[in-house]
Amino acid sequence: MGRITQRVEPEPLADRLIGHGRAAIAFDEAGSVTALPARIRRHDGRVWVGVPRESVPPTAGLERVTVLLDDGEFWFELRAVNWRGRLTAADAPVPDGRADLAWFVFTPRRATAWDYATLHEEREP
């Protein structure tokens, strides 16, 4: 017998949540964590992050960033993808992105995901 888990594969869930659910980023700013709402898009195989231009200070630590995609209000609706990685300033907005946002290309290093509607048994190795 294994254990019951809500963990799922991150990429299929991310595909469902991008443009549908909520999104936020968190990064280090002078030793404190700053969290901001964000727009997330995929284009040409890359993940793009858009935030209000004035909200990202020049001192922001964009080498260690968390991007969170989430959706749902009630327990069995809760689902999310948590990516950790780095942001690089984009030369131009993503093609379908808003021009009033500062756009970054996100390079994920690690991902976790959960979907409480898919509780399942995870077999012991």
pTM of the model: 0.86
User: Among 59, 33, 53, 57, which residue's Cα sits nearest to residue 99?
Assistant: 53
Residue 1 has pLDDT above 80, yes or no: no
**HSE on the CB side for 73, CA within 13 Å?**
0
pLDDT of 122 reads 84
Q: Quick one: pLDDT band at residue 96, thresholds 50, 70, 90?
A: confident
pLDDT tens by residue, 19-41: 777 999 999 888 889 999 999 99
pLDDT of 31 reads 85
pLDDT of 53 reads 87
Beta strands (DSSP E) in 1-125 are 3-5, 22-29, 32-37, 39-43, 46-52, 60-71, 79-89, 101-115, 120-122
**HSE on the CB side for 101, CA within 13 Å?**
20
Q: Where do the H-state alpha helices sit in 5-117?
A: 10-17
Residue 103 has pLDDT above 90, yes or no: yes
Please state the rounded mean pLDDT for residues 66-78: 92
Q: Quick one: pLDDT band at residue 81, thresholds 50, 70, 90?
A: very high
Question: What domains lie within the chain, and their CATH numbers?
Answer: 3-112 (2.30.110.10)
Q: What are phi and psi of 87, to 5 degrees?
A: -110, 140
